Amino acid sequence: MSVSVRIPTILRTYTNGSAEVSGQGATLREVLQKLDADFPGIGARILDETGRIRRFVNVYVGEEDVRFADNLDTATPDGVQVSIIPAVAGG
């Protein structure tokens, strides 16, 4: 499945500044694997050492937080937008 992935500012160093990149995969897990293959290192900023999504990063497929869906097994239908939203504290 071809999806678009929204990259937050703090991870754009990995994507040469791109705010949105194209992704591939039937599930979020596959999309993130492909993303890390395309942009080495970005995966470790989203997933922890055990391969789970870090607790201060939220990943949305469409409008839904995948923590309340099927986590990394959440289906990523063709054309859906995957958003990576890390916590920021600036004020």
Partner 1 sequence: MSLPPLVEPAAELTVDEVRRYSRHLIIPDVGMAGQKRLKNAKVLCVGAGGLGSPALLYLAAAGVGTLGVIDFDVVDESNLQRQVIHGQSDVGRPKAESAAASVREINPLIDVVVHNEVLTTENVMDIFARYDLIVDGTDNFATRYMVNDAAVLLGKPYVWGSIYRFDGQASVFWAEHGPCYRCLYPEPPPPGMVPSCAEGGVLGVLCASIGSIQVNEAIKLLTGIGEPLVGRLMIYDALEMTYRSVKVRKDPECVLCGKNPTVTELLEDYEAFCGAVSEEAQEAVSGSTITAAELKSWQDAGENIYVIDVREPNEYEIVSIPGAVLIPKGEFLNGSALERLPQDKKIVLHCKSGVRSAECLAVVKNAGFSDAVHLGGGVLSWIKTVDPSLPTY
Of 21-60, binders to partner 1 (CB under 8 A) are 41, 45, 54-56, 58, 60
Question: Does 75 interact with partner 1 (rule: CB under 8 A)?
Answer: no
| Rounded CA separation 78/12 (Å) | 24
Residue 79 burial by Cβ neighbours in a 10 Å radius (0-12, 13-18, 19+): exposed
Q: Choose the binding region for partner 1 from 21-29, 30-38, 72-80, 82-90 (rule: CB under 8 A).
A: 82-90
Question: Does 89 interact with partner 1 (rule: CB under 8 A)?
Answer: yes
Q: Choose the binding region for partner 1 from 21-29, 31-39, 71-79, 80-88 (rule: CB under 8 A).
A: 80-88
Contact 28, 1 (CB under 8 A): no
